[in-house]
Amino acid sequence: MFALIITLLVGLGLVYISTFNFMLVSVNFGFFVIENIPLIYVIVGSMVAGLVLSYGIYAINEMTNFFTIRAKDKEINKNKVESLELARRVHQLELENEKIKNGTQEEVRDSNAL
């Protein structure tokens, strides 16, 4: 609903501006010249070109951030797996240590082990 209200306000602003800026102008693009264009078209075209350019820069920035975060997530997952493996190894060594302390030859099993 907020976006609709903003769109209507921008549209009203453009209608107001267009009533005063309807004189014909020529636009130079280096060697290419367009003549007799209403000034409001130049204003709206400049605004749209700026929006498209800023959206393009924003999209490139977001893609860069996505790939950076994705690489960090992979690294975190790798470290979690490594940490889990180390915890399993520590637990196994603790069981072996208890077996040596007690002097038993039977294999000690822990039902709560990782």
CA atoms within 13 A on the CB side of 96: 6
- Within a domain: residue 109? no
> Quick check: 109 pLDDT over 90?
no
- Within a domain: residue 114? no
pTM: 0.60
> Quick check: 46 pLDDT over 70?
yes
Instruction: Please state, in angstroms and as integers, the Cα–Cα distance from residue 61 to each residue in 9, 27, 57, following that order.
Output: 29, 32, 6
- Within a domain: residue 80? yes
- Within a domain: residue 110? no
What's the pLDDT tens digit per position in 50-91? Answer: 999 999 999 999 999 999 999 999 999 999 999 999 999 998
Give the domain range for residue 44.
2-102
- Within a domain: residue 20? yes
The number of distinct structural domains making up the chain is 1
- Percent over 90 (pLDDT), the chain: 41
* 61 vs 97 pLDDT, higher one: 61
